[in-house]
Amino acid sequence: MHYLSIDIGGTYIKFGLIDRAGNFIQTWRQPTPKSLDRFKDTIQSELKGQEGKIKGIAMSCPGRIDSTKGYIHTGGALLFLYNFPMKEWITSISDLPFAIINDGKAAALAEWWIGNLKGIENGAAVVLGTGIGGGLILDNHLHQGPNFQAGELSFLIRHPSNPKQPQILGFYGSAVKFMKEATTILDVPKDDHQTVFTAIADQASTTLTALFENYCREIAILLIDMQVLLDLEKIVIGGGISAQDDLIEMIRIQYSTIRQEEPMLGETFAPLIIEACAFRNSSNLLGALYQLFVEIDNQHS
């Protein structure tokens, strides 16, 4: 028997059957519902389909998640999940062990467990999606903070050139917003990542190239801020868009460019290692499962 891991995103809910060693047996996804009732129907249907086949349920979710109580205080862009007692509800429909954790923290746990943060004592995962999620590994453990909000990178403040635009970084660093603007430039479907990144590689549009470089510079500035504040060794990039190697490379280029523009950065701080998450868009599923293992082990100790 395996474990069912669930990653709730703004566009899709992803599901994964995973074994104890972190190997994926099967993955699939469903569109994210727009109401709590439909969300419950989707989860109940998936759990019923796995009845007798799994021995635990793990979940990652955007927003402020109290992982000790299994309570969703805020659900990011998913307003119907605000102030929802997820663990209480899941345990009312299943007697299997259950754990829930913020999606950015889940990504960090996955990479720290068996991914590209393995062996790193001070590092982070940055997840590019509807907003920007984050998970911090500090002094060799996941740092959640007293309010479970450490790493909520979307809420960092930037000074927009247009005063009518939002000031929070989640607006500028949103991969969903970038893709919407990029596909509009090319006049292709909004989820056509391949066409966008092929056009970027071919330099088919100067407007698209400028948009891409500016987006990656925004992320590079974020990584520098994190490095300066927390003295990190390595940051890994997750989210669906992280599957594009050109994105990771351009973030590295922009990071190096900024260090050259500000010589004191290069003189004061060692170069930060920047990589994609080893499990790319599946990190959240793995990290949520690792959180379940931690909670099960704590109960038995």
Reported as a single tens digit per residue, the pLDDT across 112-169 is: 999 999 999 999 999 998 889 999 999 999 999 999 999 999 999 988 778 788 899 9
CA dihedral 143, 215, 281, 186 (to 10 degrees): 160
pLDDT at 284 over 90: yes
pLDDT value for 154: 93
Average pLDDT over residues 185-190: 94
Of 92, 75, 65, nearest in space to 32 by CA = 75
Do strands 273-276 and 234-238 pair parallel, antiparallel, or not at all (unpaired)? Answer: parallel
Residue 82 has a CB neighbour count (10 Å cut-off) of 14
pLDDT per residue as tens digits for the range 56-87: 999 999 999 999 999 999 998 899 999 999 99
Helices (H), 98-234: 103-114, 169-172, 175-186, 193-201, 206-230
Rounded alpha-carbon distances, angstroms, from residue 185 to 241, 262, 269: 18, 32, 38
Name the percent of the chain lying above pLDDT 70.
Answer: 100
List, in order of start, the domains of the chain with CATH numbers.
Answer: 2-102 (3.30.420.40), 116-276 (3.30.420.40)
Hey, how many other C-beta atoms are within 10 angstroms of the C-beta on 263?
A: 9
* Cβ pair 119, 103 in contact under 8 A: no
pLDDT (0 to 100) of residue 129 = 87
pLDDT tens per residue, range 210-232 = 999 999 999 999 999 999 999 99
Q: Tell whether the model's pLDDT for residue 11 goes beyond 90.
A: no
Average pLDDT, integer, range 276-296:
94
Average pLDDT over residues 87-105: 97
173: amino acid identity, one letter: G
Task: Answer yes or no: is pLDDT of 196 > 90.
Answer: yes
With 0-12 / 13-18 / 19 or more C-beta atoms within 10 angstroms meaning exposed / middle / buried, residue 132 is: buried
Token look-up 């007798």 returns: 52
pLDDT at 285 over 80: yes
User: Among positive and negative, which fits the CA dihedral 68, 72, 73, 77?
Assistant: positive
User: Residue 87: in which H helix or E strand, if any?
Assistant: helix 86-93
Indicate the pTM of the whole model. 0.92
Give me the pLDDT at residue 165, please: 83
Tokens encoding 91: 């345990």
Edge-to-edge strand ranges of the sheet holding 132-138 = 141-143, 132-138, 123-128, 234-238, 273-276
Q: Is the pLDDT of residue 10 over 90?
A: no
Q: What band does 240 get if pLDDT is binned at 50, 70 and 90?
A: confident
Q: Where are the beta strands (DSSP E) in the chain?
A: 2-8, 12-18, 24-31, 54-61, 65-66, 71-72, 98-102, 123-128, 132-138, 141-143, 234-238, 273-276
